[in-house]
Amino acid sequence: MHATGLTKSYGGQRVLDALHLAVPSGSVCALLGPNGAGKTTTVRILATLTTADSGTARVAGHDIAAERTRVRRAIALTGQFAAVDDLQTGLETLRMTGRLAGLTAAEARARADELLERFGLTEAAGKLARTYSGGMRRRLDLAASLVGRPRVLFLDEPTTGLDPRSRQELWQVVRELRGDGATVLLTTQYLEEADQLADRVTVLDSGRIAAEGTAAELKSRVAGHRLDLVLTSRGAYEALAGRAVHHVPDELTLGVPTDGSAAHVRALLDELDPDRTAVDRFTLRTATLDDVFLALTGADR
């Protein structure tokens, strides 16, 4: 999947600004970014649900503008909210989806049974979807998107609102899909999710790519480690805020990059607090994707 120069505006607001994106086949790419960064718009364009103002893209080898029908036959999209019919059973939902995808009645039954088992829904197959829990509805929605064996799967914040157990179950499904050779483009607000699942991470900010690479590469850009300082006063906090990549104003806490060595930590403390009056206490921690997100998007300032 490749996109070049994608641009999209709504009214006078530019949502995507010459976006370039490359997702290798059989990999998971996570799109991160604050609200309004352009994540969902990117997915909608690549899934042919809306058109770009300019730029080109190919999904599963097909041009999204000239070969829309072929693109749609090769992809599946799961949005932020489970789109299931409350008046159908899980089994009916999957069989109907199979028939709409062009399967014969026998093929649709077999595929439905296979997916119900894969997603742990066999016992609930005959129950109406309105009786399902949030995690079960999400699993049924994802199962329906896989009936046609898509080559590319778009997951737009798929675990929003799920409890931790249901999130873990869905993560395992994504890992299995990658193992089966599917290409997955995932948008998420959960940075741990991207860290756990993605082969590559792309950080969007104001419709542009702020950074991309593996999770480890992005963490190393911010720092291998972070020294969190709790300051003694608001004045000390404001004086040192410009040096920090992590800010928690209400707790007078700043995080500054460090290589984690004792020598560098001592040097930083001496440099930032030469009089030993500004820093109340400190904690050394490993950098996370949260640090990358906050540093590259300015989301905590």
pLDDT confidence bin for 301, thresholds 50/70/90: very low
| Integer Cα distance of 209 and 224 in angstroms | 22
Mean pLDDT of the chain: 89
Radius of gyration of the chain (CA): 23
Nearest to 139 by CA among 216, 288, 155: 155
* Structure token digits, residue 154: 């778009």
| pLDDT the model gives residue 299 | 53
Q: Tokens 């009936």 label which residue?
A: 147
Q: Is the pLDDT of residue 222 over 70?
A: no
Long-range contact pairs involving 193-197 (C-beta distance under 8 Å, separation at least 24): 193/30, 193/159, 193/167, 194/30, 194/32, 194/289, 195/288, 195/289, 196/171, 197/28, 197/30, 197/171
Q: List the single range of 39-53, 58-72, 201-215 with lowest mean pLDDT.
A: 201-215
| pLDDT the model gives residue 293 | 76
CATH 1.10.10.60 fits 2-213, yes or no: no
Stretch 58-75: mean pLDDT: 95
| pLDDT the model gives residue 298 | 59
192 vs 108, higher pLDDT: 108
Q: Report whether 121 contacts 143 (CB < 8 A).
A: yes
134 vs 185, higher pLDDT: 185
Percentage of residues in the chain with pLDDT exceeding 90? 57
pLDDT in tens, 95-107: 999 999 899 999 9
DSSP letters for 207-243: TEEEEEE-HHHHHHHH-SEEEEEEESSHHHHHHHGGG
| Integer Cα distance of 104 and 171 in angstroms | 31
Q: Amino acid identity, residue 213?
A: G
- DSSP 8-class letter at 50: S
CA atoms within 13 A on the CB side of 117: 6
pLDDT in tens, 224-280: 678 999 999 999 999 999 988 788 999 999 989 888 889 999 999 999 999 999 999
| Integer Cα distance of 254 and 252 in angstroms | 7
**Signed CA dihedral, 100, 101, 102, 104: sign only:** negative
Nearest to 112 by CA among 133, 131, 92, 83: 92
| pLDDT the model gives residue 257 | 85
Nearest to 91 by CA among 70, 115, 68, 66: 115
What SS3 state is found at 160? coil
Stretch 165-174: mean pLDDT: 82
Helix (H) or strand (E) holding 75: strand 75-78
Stretch 129-143: mean pLDDT: 89
Region of 257 (left: φ > 0; alpha: ψ -120 to 50; beta: rest) is beta
pLDDT in tens, 263-277: 999 999 999 999 999
pTM: 0.74
Domain extents for the chain? 2-213, 223-297
Adjacency order of strands within the sheet including 62-63:
13-22, 2-10, 54-59, 62-63
pLDDT in tens, 170-218: 888 888 888 888 999 999 877 788 888 999 999 898 899 988 888 888 8
Instruction: Estimate the crossing angle of helix 134-145 against helix 90-100, to 10 degrees.
Output: 20
